[in-house]
Amino acid sequence: MTTIWLPVTLALASSLMYALMVLFVRMGVRTASSATALWLTLAVNVVLLWGWSLVAYGPQFERWWEWRYFALSGLFAPLLGRLLQFQGMAKLGANITTAITLTHPVFTVLLAVLFLNEPIGLIGLLGILLVVAGSVAVGAEKDKVRGTRVLRASWLLLPVLASLCYGIAMVFRKIGLGSGSDPVTAAAVTVTSAWLCSGIYAVLSGQHRSMRCDRKEFKFFVLAGISSGVGPVLAYSALQRADLVVVAPLAATSPLFTLMLTRAFLHAEEIFSFKVLGGTVATVAGVIMVATFGASNG
């Protein structure tokens, strides 16, 4: 019984790291664009994770073909997923965006059922309905005013699409982990793919000309990059020590950490209401049901 506390602690720490990334980006994006936040946080991820991989495991570049699924994963998340999420945070706030983006395990389960022929039970279906209900409750706050800006219904597509990208990425990661790659190197390949593609896109689209930030913003983006780099490694480490049904529900608690952190540091800028709180709790509960029972026959 005592051995379970290590993976539990690692999974909760991973969730906290993700919530910290959300907080740091929300605090950092003042005048900087979402593209700037994405590229800088990914750059920090690349330096941190490759340095970690080389020190801990040494060069492994002869295994590059085994990393192809992680490279594909990186195109969907963190590249597209994080960019859409950052844009959503800039328009909707951290709490609403995070709660809706949390639905990505639902997309993962649905994709697994459709393409990997994995079964889903009644409790898993009830969990999906609860997640949708929670997201709708949070999305209903679109008519609230944050500052002088009215939230538009179309902005809700940003976190929904981000959630879909995260779900697709998880399918590729599941396939890729079968090659025996260590968690740190796998994460390093994923973020490198996303970082390179985001840089190429920024140059081709001309966005690189407006990619700038001040010293304060840069500090927050570095902190966001560190936390978003450490988080996945902690989650993979937890999975090495416990079953998915233990780790996945705990890793889905990030919106609750986000609520606490934004309440403490961004209370004047974020939407807080019973709908947001209730919708977040319902979403987390639904994700726990899906992650725990989604692949069962019961």
The residue extents of the domains of the chain are 2-293
Cα 199 from Cα 221, distance rounded (Å): 16
Residue 243 has what pLDDT? 67
pLDDT at residue number 20:
94
Contact, 40 vs 83, CB < 8 A?
Answer: no
The DSSP output letter for 177 is G
CA angle 90, 93, 99 (to 5 degrees): 120
User: Which among 145, 136, 152, 153 is positioned nearest to 270, based on CA atoms?
Assistant: 145
Q: What is the pLDDT of residue 122?
A: 79
What is the pLDDT, as a whole number, of residue 1?
43
Integer Cα distance of 234 and 171 in angstroms: 19
Nearest to 230 by CA among 202, 195, 188: 188
Q: pTM for the whole thing? A: 0.77
Parts of the chain with a pLDDT under 70: 1-3, 118, 136, 139-151, 243-246, 248-249, 267-272, 291-298
For position 177, what pLDDT does the model report? 73
pLDDT reported for residue 49: 97
Whether the bond into 183 is cis, omega within 30 of 0: no
Residue 172, pLDDT score: 85
The answer to whether the CB of 34 falls within 8 A of the CB of 210 is no
Q: Where does the chain show beta strands of DSSP type E?
A: 145-146, 149-150
Please check whether residue 151 is in contact with residue 273, taking contact to mean a CB–CB distance below 8 angstroms.
no
